[in-house]
Amino acid sequence: MDKPSATEATPEPILDPDRRILDPHHHLWPAGAGPAYLLEELRADTGDGHRVEATVFVECMTGYLSDGPEALRRAGESAFVARVARDSRDGKGARIAAIVGSADLLAPDDLDALLDAHVEAGEGLFRGIRHAAAWDASDAIRPSHHHPPPHLYLDATFRRGFAKLADQGLTFDAWLFHPQIPELTDLARAFPGASIILDHLGGPLGIGPYAGKRDEYFPTWRADMAGLATCPNVTVKLGGMAMPINGWDWHKTGAPDSAAFAAAQGDWYRAAIDLFGPDRCMFESNFPVDRASLSYRTLWNGLKRIAAPYSEAEKDLMFRGTAARVYGIED
């Protein structure tokens, strides 16, 4: 199993070890381009001291079917994760309690059949889909894994597909970069009944033309987040900011301890919590992607440090309750 960082040699003591956690954002993948991250690896992370009781899998183009109708092949991911989830319910650790799959909302005519296939394959765990819009005009910033066109969330064909998703009461995870937040706001206002979850604090960039400019664009990011927060149908995942694209370079310089992590990123988290409120915020790990920068143990210690000023009830919402409500997860 790969290490989170070559310099993170001594594990930190667990802070607030009795805090119940529902991790609403992780991935699974077999060995291939990189090391495997399956149930064994997930359990090693979630079982490393924090009280992680349940998790939500979010699509990552894993387990697609290799045959059958092209339009239905993405449902293979839900089937794959459902099999892993069965094994996770043996009482030995956190269980995979929900699945967010993938669908191409630019192909709305195929969507009904695909969503039905996801529901069947997910064995009661399928909750919704993610169709990423993350794109930037700079060649230094690679588009997301879905290779979206610019302005995806404003596209009329996309919105035809999105309407079908919303009509079925399924959730929608949005992955974009911070300059695109107003486009998600437009989508949320057009579909006020849809449950939209903004991933990774809106994707603040710190590479390419954004390198070294976080202080300059923080006010713009905050203003755009304030506009999005006026949409009561939007919740936000607090995390996913230890990726190389975020520009802290911990994957190069070495893992921070939890205090350094909280000091570096706390203002972003607190701004989102102030805007959306704890009942619309959920802490996330984004593992194993963020594992390139720090360990699961250190990450959750850092999140607990950021949450320290909030009340017990507010902490419970951000660490567990909001995600349970949004994704329909029962104890």
Q: Which residues contact 223 (CB under 8 A, 6 or more apart)?
A: none
Residue 5 has what pLDDT? 43
Using one digit for the tens of pLDDT, what is the confidence trace for 216-258?
Answer: 999 999 999 999 999 999 999 999 999 999 999 999 999 999 9
Closest CA to 304 of 319, 291, 288: 319
* CB within 8 Å of 314: residues ≥ 6 apart: 278, 307
Give the residue among 235, 155, 164 at the shortest CA–CA distance from 187. 155
CB atoms inside a 10 Å sphere around CB 54: 23
Q: What is the mean pLDDT of residues 191-217?
A: 97
Work out whether strand 281-283 and strand 234-238 pair parallel, antiparallel, or are unpaired. parallel
Q: Which of 225, 293, 224, 228 is nearest to 264 (CA)?
A: 293
Predicted local confidence at residue 1, as pLDDT? 35
Exposure on the CB side of residue 154, measured as CA atoms within 13 A:
10
pLDDT tens string 284-297: 999 999 999 999 99
| SS3 category, 325 | helix
User: What is the DSSP annotation of 265-297?
Assistant: HHHHHHHHHHHH-GGGEEE---BTGGGGTS-HH
Q: Quick: pLDDT tens for 41-99.
A: 999 999 999 999 999 999 999 999 999 999 999 999 999 999 999 999 998 899 999 99
Look-up of token digits 């005519």: 109
CATH number of 20-327, picked from 1.10.10.10, 3.40.50.880, 3.30.420.40, 3.20.20.140 = 3.20.20.140
Please report the DSSP string for 38-66 in residue order: SHHHHHHHHTSSSEEEEEEEE--S-S--S
Q: Distance between CA atoms of 190 and 208, rounded to whole angstroms?
A: 32
In the chain, count of helices (H) and strands (E)?
Answer: 11, 8
Handedness of CA 182, 185, 186, 187 (dihedral sign): positive
In this prediction, residue 34 carries a pLDDT of 76
CA distance 282 to 239: 9
Which pLDDT does position 35 carry in this prediction?
Answer: 87
pLDDT tens readout for residues 253-262: 999 999 999 9
